[in-house]
Structure 1
């Protein structure tokens, strides 16, 4: 069983998938930082669009003005936090779309490059010489 597992784990697809997951995790962290540390603060400073503390108290005991304290007091509907995460998701999805689009453009450019003419084989050269000699005849 151990040998079968080793053979399975060493197949190209499994190794490629493991590498993709690791790179994807690292890329996800970079994009999350881009959104959380650069894009959202700029948006927040321009229009004050920090929705993370917007909520609706679902019990009468909720009198707090920020989400953390309100959650301690009772059930809350944290619609602002949901909206902020939805905006973050849309930004991350757009950035990933742009990266995939850019990579596919590079791939198309590589495919569009004309192939270098290959050198004819020795047999083809010899047959061409024979044909030319017969024509001269």
Structure 2
């Protein structure tokens, strides 16, 4: 296994995605949907533009993810204040139920990933991981 930063970053991301989708297979959720439900947990009623930015998803990809979620009854789009140009996305009861499962699954995966890592090491790692994210976010 390659131990470079880029390889380990990609490998860890793919491993989290794989474990997440394996554990959520009975829900019928597809790639991208857990991330959107996780975002809506704290931003229910967000606009599509806000969700795309918050989830780091391209607008076109998000539209197809939301269409499938709406078909499954996980979300509903609503216009607010008569603004026909901007739809706001709200979780349905089914969406909220699935969001809880997503949250529990993320917690289990994080617990497994951080097994045998002390609280102090976790704190330092998260500080560095956030710094790396901010550094990359500055690249134009």
Report if TM-score (shorter chain) is over 0.5. no
- Asked which structure has the greater CA Rg, the reply is 1
Q: Which structure carries more relative contact order (alpha carbon 8 Å, separation 6+)?
A: 2
The interval holding the TM-score normalised by the smaller chain is under 0.3
Q: Per residue, is there more strand in 1 or in 2?
A: 2
Could you state the TM-score of these two structures normalised by the residue count of structure 1?
0.26
Q: TM-score, normalised by structure 2?
A: 0.26
Structure with more helix by fraction: 1
